Amino acid sequence: MAESLLLYLLQSSAAIAVSGGIIMFIRKAFDRYLTAETRYRLWFLLLILAAAPFLAEAFPWLGRLTSRLADLRTAPAGDSWQGGGPEAAGNIFTATGLLHDFSVSVSREMPGYLAFALLSLWIGGAVLLAVLTLISAVRVNFLKKTALPVRDAVLRDIFEDCKRQLGIRRDIPLRSSSRLRSPVTAGIAAPCVLLPASRLSGLSEDEIRCILLHELLHYKHKDIMSGVLFRLLLIFYWFHPLVWLALKEMDSDREIACDTAVLALLGEKASCDYGNALLHFAASLSHLTFGQTAGIGGSRKEIRKRILYIASYRRETGNRRLKSRLLYLLTAALVICTTPSASALAFSSDHYRAALPQASLEDLSSYFEDFDGSFVLYDSSENRYLISNEDDARTRISPNSTYKIYSALMALDAGIITAKDSAMAWNGEACPFDSWNRDQNLNTAMTNSVNWYFMNLDRQSGLDSIKRELTALSYGNLDFSGGLSRFWLESSLKISPLEQVKLLAELSSHTLPYSERDMETVKDALFLSSDGTSSLYGKTGTGTVDGKNTNGWFIGFIESENGSCSFAVHINGDDGATGTKAGEIALRILKEKQLYG
């Protein structure tokens, strides 16, 4: 869990750095073509990018748009094969030895204690900023409650006139407080405009109108909401210097966009009055931080920047607005195309969410002993699913050696091997299992789960071809960032037990997009045994990390005169979760259900 979260932070931080750099470059290089509003709205691309993983949970189809950065979580344990321990080479049927389950270990690149320490540091920083944000919200709420209604009839008339000018019908309270040093707009659900009780004297009615229009425009543009969202982004990425810089620039751009909107309403002749109003509140900050308010005040440096902008203000032409919108679209496209890790972990959704035609839930946890896991059965004759532990059944996990079914299908379809000629010579490199240290064909390689055989098939198929083929099959999360040699081995590619069963049902019924002969060839390689009335086909898979078997699969199907049933068992644990153990669990359940054995 710690590694997964740290990986998410690392990948999304890299994406934010790239996209933030693009936004800053566009702002600087094309400043003369950008309107003030567009400069401000450019920062929303950064917010959307950071929110992408959470959007993906609600809209899984977004996961198709991008893929993640290289999977840093695990890597092959050196150049030579490493066995997965004594349980990695067991037999499902110890007496007959029908199926062998071989696996190799991969290693975590980050020690667990270091991952925990870094995660604790991140949580500490996030909690600190969250507490500060909460304190700020409490202060704003207190300020709103203690502020007094403005009773000056002239001020109230100007305020109502400004609301009519902006088309605002909502009742927005106008209050004053001696605790304020500059006007602010506060609140999302119950917004109000707060004025400093002692700092309005000396301002003309025109200058007051500029101030009130500015504050009401913050409400109309929903700037408080966007400010809060950006501060939430800061809580998650408090360690990222570019996020702090972006937030500072965004605040400045927001105020300039609001200044421009005021001048667009009042005309260039109002520049002098507006500039005087800004100077009146120079260096007057409300000290209500973390996005809870938006106001006309600011530091001397910010006020100077805004005064210079106001002094040079010219009404924006239609041509400039068009160019600005085109630049915005260009920037959005660049951000999407150059930050493929925008989704990090969640963008390629880790859960299968499709609805099932008919499904029955049954608690079969007693079969799983001390392991967590799930059992899925699909009866094609009744078009019905039986599921134990639906959450795990929908959770996507590394397929490990169960992927080899589809590696074989793709190689057969491409003509790399054929039903009659699937032989491949061993290169002499020592492997951890004797059965791997010899020439192989599809049947022996599938039976003994020979990694080098299927890796050679994949190399000849090519990653681009594999991506196309598995995309056509809708194979899990379709994340190939782990690299050609290991994306399926405790790495980036993940698939749920429900998806495994769906594909197996199509293989059994010859409805996959491959020739019937190729599918029969793979089925022959998966054949395990027959009990006289039914035939059992299956494949194991074991995920071994740092020498511990943490993830076990046994998937397959049963064919008889009455039809076919596809099934999958997945188990996970600290150790001992092998394909062998998953197979034993599956066979006990199938026998209990009188489906096989």
76-108+355-592: CATH number: 3.40.710.10
pLDDT score for 85: 37
Residues tagged active-site: 401
User: What confidence tens digit (pLDDT) does each residue in 4-32 have?
Assistant: 566 667 777 877 888 888 899 999 999 88
Q: For residues 275, 281, 282 and 285, what is the CA-based torsion angle, rounded to 10 degrees? A: -140
Give the model confidence (pLDDT) of 366-387 as tens digits.
Answer: 999 999 999 999 999 899 999 9
CB 18 within 8 A of CB 336: no
CA nearest neighbour of 128 among 245, 234, 13, 247 = 234
Q: Strand runs (DSSP E) across 136-206, as ranges? A: 148-149, 174-177, 184-186, 192-196
Query: How would you classify residue 383: left for phi > 0, otherwise alpha for psi between -120 and 50, otherwise beta?
Result: left
Percent of the chain with pLDDT over 70: 83
pLDDT of residue 595: 92
Query: How confident is the model over 458-478, as pLDDT tens digits?
Result: 999 999 999 999 999 999 999
The C-alpha atoms of residue 327 and residue 329 are separated, in whole angstroms, by: 5
Q: Is 266 left (phi over 0), alpha (psi -120 to 50) or beta?
A: alpha
What value, to the nearest 5°, has the Cα angle with vertex 22 and ends 21 and 27? 100
Please give the pLDDT value at position 68: 40
The domain spans of the chain are 2-68+115-338, 76-108+355-592
pLDDT tens column, 156-188: 999 999 999 999 999 999 999 888 888 888 888
Q: Which of 366, 399, 391, 436 is nearest to 553 (CA)?
A: 399
Give the range among 78-82, 129-133, 277-281 with minimum mean pLDDT: 78-82
CA distance 303 to 300: 5
Q: How far apart are CA 288 and CA 136, in angstroms?
A: 6
Longest CA–CA separation in the chain, Å: 100
550-565: pLDDT as tens digits: 999 999 999 998 889 9
pTM comes to: 0.60
pLDDT in tens, 327-345: 999 999 888 776 654 444 4
